Amino acid sequence: PIPIINCDSCGDQPVPREELPVRLPEIDDYKPTGTPPLARSEEFLHTVCPNCESPALRETKTLDTFVDSSWYYMRFADPKNKETMTGPLVNKWLPVDYYVGGADHTAGHLLYSRFITKVLSDLGKIDYDEPFTNLRH
């Protein structure tokens, strides 16, 4: 998660450098509940503000949902491949010809999809370096 502590008095405070990296608790249940799994760990969630030492809460969100959904389109091209997410059908069927959606939605997906695509391209895992050839919103 983002190493931030949320204090009612001081606002968002960075986790002190000497406490980095933040050690995560063991989580047994990752089933979706509408609450991040880390937020269900009372021991992790509750801490003290590094500024005023009042009770505070740790940030428990880890990734923007656009990150989570910015690579799955590759799996649609080769959904039965259990060895890798970037098999030969990915290079045959991708990049996506046209991505159509609302301005904020397409911009969010493009930002993260481009990053993931560029990394996989640089690693030689895919034969293209842009996720979508056309974007319309």
14-30 pLDDT, tens digit per residue, is 999 999 999 999 998 88
Tokens matching residue 87: 């098999």
pLDDT score recorded for residue 66: 75
pLDDT score recorded for residue 69: 76
pLDDT score recorded for residue 89: 92
Q: Taking a C-beta distance cutoff of 8 angstroms, is the pair 80, 68 a contact?
A: no
Distance separating alpha carbons of residues 88 and 64, to the nearest angstrom: 29
Q: For residue 5, is pLDDT > 90?
A: yes
- Binned at pLDDT 50, 70 and 90, residue 136 comes out as confident
pLDDT score recorded for residue 95: 94
In the chain, what's the furthest Cα-to-Cα distance? 57
Digit-coded pLDDT (tens) for 41-100 = 999 999 999 999 999 999 998 776 777 778 888 888 888 888 888 888 999 999 999 988
pLDDT score recorded for residue 79: 87
- Specify the residue for token string 């995560």: 24
pLDDT score recorded for residue 72: 81
Distance separating alpha carbons of residues 60 and 78, to the nearest angstrom: 33
